[in-house]
């Protein structure tokens, strides 16, 4: 299968059944809602305020989950993400929906507790700053705002530097004349600041203050009304109270975290409601009825129309879409091809005139992935890991497609790795020779001593692999050109299909045996001769047909020659791109062999075995990880740049039906 044919559906139903109708459509997940054209006297539902409110509730649930995970992390295993979503029946879903407001209340309590924690932490920071500021003044037994008595005045502040009472008096003596008419006390001092209390007679106050200012004196910015110890103790008491409140709030959160499953359900429920009310915005409403349109897969159209008319006493009309450019795209393939659909979607969904590339692309995707990774040991790990995920866990959606894709990529990697004799590099023959003094050789006529390759070793015959890489690339490109032929033929452009595709087939097919000689591969003379004639025929076909739209003979010839140049240079560039099959294939094998070599450096077999074990685990893990990334990127590139450029335009949009789009639960129809 490929692109699913779509039908246009229009529905009119009583207003009082609108909620039930949309709940039904959401459960069925087969109708994409669209707005009908404006009709006089009929307005659209305005549910924007409701959507905003529900979205706020959903974000509250999401925030509550994050907070619960922060203070009371849920126990989870490494493979939990592969288990799929827990399933609940439609009946249970509806029953728990009635508890959504209660679950929201739990979310609000968690969020409020976190808000209190944040506020108290900020308050503690302020109190500690205030306590730290007043701590040096704690020994002072009078308020910092104390200004003296009738006969004397007090000076409270700080001086830069480290002073004692004696050194301060000595420093002040330079600024005062005559006898001392003041007394001073250094409350506390450090290397960069001294806190002082000075009591001077009224008549000496100005002179003492002037002297202190000459030394860099500054008043305290926030003096206390009580002895500093009072503020210091009050700040510490406030800190203790705030810390106690934080503990209480954390206890509230950890206690409510046991309702994590209910919070998850609330998040999903608000998500579903938001989607439903967003869809209602596309609905036209009269006094007693609602009306809306949409798209539905053709094979489901009659069934869904009949059920709607039966359940909701509604009027349903199913027709062919009147605007083909607006029709969404739904792909449906067998699991082998469906696994690479996300790869195509990352590039672009098929346009209205495109064919689904996945059935053809999937074959080459797996072949090229395996050829570039090309180590049977790595492929075996991939296949086993993905196989366990497929059959033991209930993976669904795009994750299932990703697991399927890597499973088939792993199978392909095992195939190519076995052909090239790479099982974690050369670990099998190396262990045999290093630890047992044996030479492992497959009983094949062409097998070399010490080789376990079913075909050949790319490291020893890189040119051979390069030639096959180009050959596989040409086949890949030919399939792309074949898709272009089919596409044009189906669209009725049969002249274009023949003139734009057949000459290129002939030209490239003819050049292949000629070009093989350049790479040192001798083709039979008869093939070279046939190739010459095919290439000439293809070149002539391009020259004669590329400019067929031009009315001028000279223009036809010029466009034809330019078309020949473009075809030759473009195809040469595309074919050379497949040399990356050789490059990445060699890279994986060479690094794997180097890892094994490093592990076998010691002469002592026991030391060698221990070192090889750790080097093997670490080296091959890193090599596999790095080359998996490179292989994935370059396999995608061969599809996007080389294959798709031959026929694929894209520009389509995905089919997005109204459905129960949940994150934590999967709702099943009873």
Look at residue 371 and tell me if it is in a domain: yes
Look at residue 415 and tell me if it is in a domain: yes
Look at residue 512 and tell me if it is in a domain: no
Q: Is pLDDT above 60 for 588?
A: yes
Whether residue 605 sits in one domain with residue 468: yes
Q: Which residue has the higher pLDDT, 602 or 1?
A: 602
Look at residue 444 and tell me if it is in a domain: yes
Look at residue 420 and tell me if it is in a domain: yes
Average pLDDT over residues 595-601: 92
Distances (CA, A) of 435 to 53, 443, 453, 606: 71, 22, 21, 10
Q: DSSP labels for 503-550?
A: HHHHHHHHHHHHHHHHTTPPPPHHHHHHHHHHHHHHHHHHHHHTTTT-
Which one, of 394, 101, 90, lies nearest residue 262 by Cα? 101
Range from 111-120, 144-153, 181-190, 550-559 that averages highest in pLDDT: 111-120
- Quickly list H helices, 135-151: none
Q: Is pLDDT above 80 for 351?
A: yes
Look at residue 652 and tell me if it is in a domain: no
Distances (CA, A) of 578 to 285, 510, 560, 585: 58, 19, 28, 12
- Confidence at 436, pLDDT banded by 50, 70, 90: confident
Among 174, 191, 219, the domain-final residue is 219
Among 176, 202, 219, the domain-final residue is 219
The pLDDT value recorded for residue 79 is: 61
CA 348 – CA 354 distance, rounded (Å): 11
SS3 call for 21:
helix
Q: Cβ of 436: how many Cβ atoms within 10 Å?
A: 10
Helices 48-71 and 260-280: crossing angle, nearest 10°?
A: 160
Q: C-alpha angle with apex 528: 522 to 531, nearest 5 degrees?
A: 135
What backbone torsions phi and psi does residue 350 show, to the nearest 5 degrees?
Answer: -60, 140
Contact 5, 297 (CB under 8 A): yes
Look at residue 80 and tell me if it is in a domain: no
Instruction: Judge residue 101's burial from the number of C-beta atoms within 10 Å of its C-beta, 0-12 exposed, 13-18 middle, 19 or more buried.
Output: exposed
The pLDDT value recorded for residue 556 is: 83
Helices 397-420 and 579-599: crossing angle, nearest 10°?
A: 70
Whether residue 211 sits in one domain with residue 342: no
The pLDDT value recorded for residue 80 is: 62
SS3 call for 33:
strand
What is the CA 381 to chain-centroid distance, rounded?
A: 24
pLDDT tens per residue, range 390-407 = 888 777 778 889 999 999
CA 276 – CA 666 distance, rounded (Å): 17
37 phi-psi bin (left φ>0, alpha ψ -120 to 50, beta other): beta
What backbone torsions phi and psi does residue 175 show, to the nearest 5 degrees?
Answer: -110, -5
Among 219, 247, 274, the domain-final residue is 219
Q: What's the chain's average pLDDT?
A: 90
- Confidence at 322, pLDDT banded by 50, 70, 90: confident
Which one, of 635, 535, 527, lies nearest residue 577 by Cα? 635
- Give me the number of domains the chain comprises: 2
Residue with tokens 């209190």: 116
Least confident of 79-83, 149-153, 487-491, 657-661: 79-83
Helix (H) or strand (E) holding 182: strand 182-189
- Confidence at 285, pLDDT banded by 50, 70, 90: confident
Distances (CA, A) of 480 to 476, 492, 565: 6, 19, 20
Which residues touch 363 (CB under 8 Å, ≥6 apart)?
none
DSSP state of 652: B
The pLDDT value recorded for residue 78 is: 58
Q: Is pLDDT above 60 for 1?
A: no
Q: Is pLDDT above 80 for 81?
A: no
Q: What's the sign of the alpha-carbon dihedral 542, 543, 546, 551? A: negative
CA 459 – CA 422 distance, rounded (Å): 10
Q: Is pLDDT above 60 for 595?
A: yes
Q: What's the sign of the alpha-carbon dihedral 511, 517, 522, 526? A: positive
Which one, of 449, 447, 448, 427, lies nearest residue 439 by Cα? 449
Least confident of 362-371, 511-520, 577-586: 511-520
Which one, of 373, 345, 318, lies nearest residue 584 by Cα? 373
pLDDT tens per residue, range 228-246 = 999 999 999 999 999 999 9
DSSP state of 447: P
Look at residue 604 and tell me if it is in a domain: yes
CATH code of the domain in which 172 resides: 3.30.70.2750
What Rg value do the Cα atoms of the chain yield, rounded? 40
Distances (CA, A) of 617 to 373, 378, 409, 591, 596: 18, 12, 22, 14, 10
Which residues span the domain enclosing 438?
335-489+582-646
CA 182 – CA 173 distance, rounded (Å): 11
Residue with tokens 């094979």: 299
Q: Cβ of 499: how many Cβ atoms within 10 Å?
A: 18
Q: Which residue has the higher pLDDT, 555 or 478?
A: 478
pLDDT tens per residue, range 42-76 = 667 778 888 999 999 999 999 999 999 999 888 76
The pLDDT value recorded for residue 517 is: 78
Q: Is pLDDT above 80 for 492?
A: yes
% of the chain surpassing 90 pLDDT: 62
pLDDT tens per residue, range 196-215 = 999 999 988 999 999 999 99
The pLDDT value recorded for residue 323 is: 84
Q: Which residue has the higher pLDDT, 593 or 553?
A: 593
Residue 88 β-bridge partners: 667
Q: DSSP labels for 356-419?
A: P-HHHHHHHHHHHHHHHH--HHHHHHHHHHHHHHHHHS---HHHHHHHHHHHHHHHHHHHHHHH
Which one, of 210, 244, 299, 378, lies nearest residue 1 by Cα? 299
Distances (CA, A) of 366 to 120, 266, 533, 590, 645: 57, 41, 35, 22, 19
DSSP state of 331: B
């Amino acid at each position: 299968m490929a692109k699913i044919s779509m039908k246009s559906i229009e529905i009119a139903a009583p207003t009082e059944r609108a909620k039930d109708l949309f709940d039904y459509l959401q459960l069925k997940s087969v109708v994409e809602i669209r707005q009908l054209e404006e009709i006089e006297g009929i307005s659209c539902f305005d549910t924007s305020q409701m959507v905003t409110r529900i979205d706020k509730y959903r974000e509250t649930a999401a925030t509550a989950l994050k907070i619960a995970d922060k203070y009371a992390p849920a126990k989870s295993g490494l493979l939990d993400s592969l288990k799929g979503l827990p399933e609940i029946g439609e009946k249970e879903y509806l029953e728990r929906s009635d508890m959504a407001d209660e679950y929201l209340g739990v979310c609000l309590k968690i969020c409020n507790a976190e808000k209190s924690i944040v506020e108290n932490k900020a308050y503690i920071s302020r109190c500690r700053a205030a306590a730290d500021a007043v701590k040096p003044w704690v020994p002072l037994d009078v308020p910092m705002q104390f200004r003296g008595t009738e006969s004397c005045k007090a000076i409270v502040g700080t001086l830069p530097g480290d002073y004692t009472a004696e050194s301060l008096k000595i420093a002040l003596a330079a600024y005062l004349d005559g006898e001392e008419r003041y007394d001073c006390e250094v409350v506390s001092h450090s290397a960069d600041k001294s806190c002082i209390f000075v009591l001077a007679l009224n008549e000496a106050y100005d002179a003492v203050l002037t002297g202190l200012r000459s030394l860099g004196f500054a008043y305290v910015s926030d003096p206390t009304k009580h002895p500093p110890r009072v503020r210091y103790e009050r700040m510490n008491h406030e800190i203790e109270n705030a810390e106690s409140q934080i503990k209480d709030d954390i206890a509230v959160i950890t206690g409510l975290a046991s309702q994590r499953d209910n919070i998850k359900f609330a998040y999903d429920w608000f998500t579903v409601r938001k989607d439903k009310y967003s869809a209602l915005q596309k609905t036209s409403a009269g006094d007693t009825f609602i009306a809306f349109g949409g798209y539905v897969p053709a094979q489901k159209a009659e069934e869904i129309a009949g059920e709607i008319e039966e359940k909701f006493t509604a009027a349903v009309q199913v027709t062919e879409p009147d605007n083909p450019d607006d029709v969404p795209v739904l792909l449906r393939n067998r699991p082998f091809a469906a696994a690479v659909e996300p790869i195509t979607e990352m590039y672009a969904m098929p346009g209205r005139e495109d064919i689904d590339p996945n059935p053809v692309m999937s074959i080459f995707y797996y072949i090229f992935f395996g050829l570039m990774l090309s180590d049977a040991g790595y492929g075996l790990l991939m296949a086993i890991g993905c196989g366990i995920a497929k059959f033991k866990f209930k993976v669904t959606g795009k994750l299932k497609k990703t697991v399927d894709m890597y499973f088939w990529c792993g199978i392909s990697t095992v195939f190519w790795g076995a052909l090239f004799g790479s099982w974690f590099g050369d670990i099998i023959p190396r262990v045999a020779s290093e630890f047992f003094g044996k030479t492992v050789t497959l009983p094949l006529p062409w097998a070399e001593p010490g080789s376990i390759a079913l075909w050949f070793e790319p490291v020893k015959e890189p040119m051979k692999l390069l030639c096959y890489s180009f050959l596989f690339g040409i086949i890949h490109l030919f399939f792309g050109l074949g898709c272009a032929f089919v596409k044009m033929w189906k669209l009725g452009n049969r002249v274009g299909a023949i003139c734009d595709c057949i000459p290129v087939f002939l030209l490239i097919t003819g050049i292949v045996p000629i070009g093989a000689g350049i790479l040192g591969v001798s083709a039979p003379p008869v093939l070279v001769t046939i190739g010459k004639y095919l290439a000439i025929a293809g070149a002539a076909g391009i020259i004669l047909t590329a400019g067929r739209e031009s009315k001028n003979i000279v223009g036809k010839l010029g466009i034809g020659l330019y078309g020949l140049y473009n075809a030759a240079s473009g195809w040469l560039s595309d074919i050379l791109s497949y040399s990356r099959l050789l490059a990445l294939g060699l890279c994986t094998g060479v690094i794997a062999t180097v890892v094994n070599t490093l592990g076998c450096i010691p002469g002592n077999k026991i030391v060698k075995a221990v070192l090889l074990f750790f080097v093997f685990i670490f080296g091959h893990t890193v090599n596999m990880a790095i080359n998996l990334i490179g292989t994935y990127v370059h396999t995608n590139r061969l599809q996007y740049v080389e294959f798709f450029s031959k026929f694929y335009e894209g520009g389509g949009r995905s089919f997005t039906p109204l459905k129960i789009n949940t994150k934590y639960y999967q709702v099943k129809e009873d």
